[in-house]
Chains A and B, each alone.
Chain A
Amino acid sequence: MTDDPGPSGGIGSPPSLVRPRSWSDSLRDFFAEEGATGTLVAVGSTVVVFVLLAWAVASSPNWPTIQGQFFNGEVIADSWPVVLRGFWVDVQMFLVAQVAILLLALLLAVMRSLRGPAFAPLRVLAILYIDFWRGIPLILAIALLGFGIPALDLPGVPNSQFFWGTSTLVLSYSAYTAEVYRAGIDSVPESQRASARSLGLSQWQSLRHAILPQAIRNVVPALLNGLVSLQKDVALVSVLGVREALREAEIITARTFNYSPYVVATILFLALSVPMVRYVDYYTARERARRSNVVT
C-alpha cells in the first residue's frame, strides 16, 4: 500500500491522474471505438434500433388499419404511374423556375447594391419588389396570379396555369434569393471594392469582376438550400389544378378514399430532395475544408 502512487499515497505525493477502470468505462470505450470495430458498432446499433422501432409500429393494434389506408399495395400499384407522371410536371416546373430565379434574383441584388443618386430609381424598384413578394404568402400569390390573370382572358397573355404557377414561384423565390445574393455581396470586404475602383474600374465592372465572383461563392450553400425548398414548394401549384404529383394523388384519393397515393407522392419528393440535401451538406463541408486549408 505504501508504494501505491494513487490517491491513497503518502502525504505530499501528488494525486494519481489515473482513475481505476469500471465496467461502465469498458462499455463507453466499446461504443467510442473507431475503425472497423467502430463501423460494426455503428451499423449494428442502428439496425437494432430501427428493427425495434419497426416492430413497435407493426405490433401496434392499429397497424392493419394504418397499413390499409397508407400502404395499400393495390392502390399504390394503380396510382404509381399517374402520380409519377404528375411528378414529372413538378420536376419541369422546378427546373424552369430555378434558372429564372437565380438570374432574376442576381439582377435584383445588383440593382439594390448600386450606389450613387443616379441609381436611386433602380434601388427603390428592387426594394419595393422584394418587400412585396417577401411579404405575401406564396400560396396567396399563386392563387392571385394563377386564377386571376387567366380569368382576365387578355389577348396575347398566356392563360396556362402551369405558366402562371411557375411564374409566381419565380417572382416570390427571386425576392428571397435576391436577399441571399445581397448578403453575399455585403460579405465581401469594402477594401475589395476600393481596390477594384482604384484600378479605374467602373462600379459595374467592379461588381462583375471583383465583388460578385466572391459574393456568389460565399452564398452557394444558401442558394442550394433555397433550391431544395423550391423543389418542394412546386407542389403548391396544385391549388390551381395543375396535374402535378400532389394533384394527381388528391384525385385518386377522392375516388378511392385511400391515402396511399399521397405516400407515393411523398416517396417521390423524398427521392429528389434527400440527395439534394446530402449534396448541399457535402458541398458545404468541402468548401469549409478548402478554406481552412488555405489559412496558413
Chain B
Amino acid sequence: MSSPTAPTSTAAPGGLVLDDVHKAFGTKEVLRGIDLDVAPHEVVCLIGPSGCGKSTLLRCVDLLDRIDAGRILLDGTEISGRRVDVNAVRRRIGMVFQGYNLFPHLTCLDNVTLGARKAHGIPRRAAEETAMGLLVRFGLDDKAAAYPDQLSGGQQQRAAIVRALVTDPEMLLLDEITSALDPELVGEVLHVIRDLADGGMTMVLATHEMGFARDVASRVAFLHQGRVLEYGPPEQVLADPSQPRTREFLARVIDAGRL
C-alpha cells in the first residue's frame, strides 16, 4: 500500500487515533477537541445525549465531513490531511448509517456488491460469491434478488452491514444503526454486531442501546458537547462513572428504562 503521507508513529500501532479533532458547521462547534484511540479488534461504543457529536465524529473518520483542526490516524497513517486519497481511505473503512441508505433502484445483491465491483474493481462473479456467503451468514440469502422496499427494516439494516463488510474493511463505523428500527427488529441487528465483535472486527459504534454497549463494548466513550468526557471499560463508565455529567446522562437513560 502506498501511504498518502509519511507514516506517523503513534502510541497505538494499528487501529484508529483521533488527536484533538475539531469540527464546526458554520458557527456551531460540534467537535471541540476529541481525543480517542481504538485498538485493533476493539469495540468502542460512543454514548451521549443527542447533538453531542457522535455522528459527526463517525462521519469525520470516514472523511464524509472534513475536520477543521487536529489529526485522524488510521493504522498509523494520517488520513485527515488535504492530500489524502479519500476514496482509498473509505475503501478500508466500512460505514453503516441509521437510515440504512440502501440504493432503492438496486437489488439487495447489487447493493451489497456495488462498492466491491466499482470501487475495488472486483469482478462481478467474485464479488457476488463473497456477498452470497455473507448473506447466507446473516440470513438474507433468500432476499438477494429483492429490492430494499421489499425488505423489513431489520433486513435492510443487515443488508447495509453486509454491504459494508463485503470488501473486508479494517474497521466498521456504525452510526446509531438500530435507532430507526421497530423495537422487535433491534435484536436481529444487534445479534449481527455481536457476531462480528466475537470475530474480532474493529468497530466504533454510536448507540443509545446501553445494555448492548455494556455487553459488547471493550470500551465506552461518553461524549458531551463535542468532547470525550469519560473513556474506559463499560463496567466503569456505565456502572461507576467518575464524571457528574456521565452520571446525570445515565440516570436519565435509566429513568427511560433503557439500561
Q: Is the CB of B119 within 8 A of A192?
A: no
Q: Is the CB of B95 within 8 A of A198?
A: yes
Q: Which of A192, A200, A214 contacts B90 (CB 8 A)?
A: A200
Q: Is the CB of B90 within 8 A of A197?
A: yes
- B125: chain A residues at CB < 8 Å are none
- B104: chain A residues at CB < 8 Å are 214
Question: Given that A200-B87, A200-B91 are known contacts, is A195 also in contact with B149, CB under 8 Å in the complex?
Answer: no
- A217: chain B residues at CB < 8 Å are 105
Question: Given that A200-B87, A200-B88, A294-B149 are known contacts, is A209 also in contact with B118, CB under 8 Å in the complex?
Answer: yes
Give the distance in Å from the alpha carbon of A200 to the alpha carbon of B164 in the complex.
10
- List the A residue with the shortest CB-CB distance to B98: A191
Q: Is the CB of B118 within 8 A of A201?
A: yes
Q: Is the CB of B90 within 8 A of A198?
A: yes
- List the B residue with the shortest CB-CB distance to A208: B118
- A294: chain B residues at CB < 8 Å are 149
Q: Is the CB of B105 within 8 A of A199?
A: no
Q: Is the CB of A191 within 8 A of B97?
A: yes
| A213 adjacent to chain B (CB < 8 Å) | yes
| A151 adjacent to chain B (CB < 8 Å) | no
Give the distance in Å from the alpha carbon of A199 to the alpha carbon of B91 in the complex.
6
Residue from the set A197, A198, A205 with the largest chain B CB neighbour count within 10 Å = A198
Give the distance in Å from the alpha carbon of A202 to the alpha carbon of B115 in the complex.
10
Give the distance in Å from the alpha carbon of A296 to the alpha carbon of B153 in the complex.
11
Q: Is the CB of A192 within 8 A of B101?
A: yes
Shortest C-beta distance, B170 to chain A (Å), equals: 13
Q: How large is the interface on A (under 10, 10 to 19, 20 to 34, 35 or more residues)?
A: 10 to 19
| A240 adjacent to chain B (CB < 8 Å) | no
- List the B residue with the shortest CB-CB distance to A210: B103
Shortest C-beta distance, A293 to chain B (Å), equals: 9
Q: Which of B101, B103, B115 contacts A200 (CB 8 A)?
A: B115
| B62 adjacent to chain A (CB < 8 Å) | yes
Q: Mark B75-103, 1 if CB is under 8 A from A, else 0.
A: 00000000000111011011101010111
- List the A residue with the shortest CB-CB distance to B88: A200
Chain A to chain B contacts (Cβ below 8 Å), 19 pairs: A191-B101, A192-B103, A194-B101, A195-B101, A197-B90, A198-B62, A198-B94, A198-B97, A199-B90, A199-B115, A200-B87, A200-B120, A201-B87, A201-B115, A201-B118, A202-B119, A213-B103, A214-B103, A294-B149
In addition to A205-B118, A205-B119, A214-B103, 14 A-B residue pairs with Cβ atoms within 8 Å of each other are: A191-B99, A191-B101, A192-B103, A194-B59, A194-B101, A195-B160, A198-B95, A198-B97, A198-B164, A200-B90, A200-B115, A200-B120, A201-B119, A209-B114
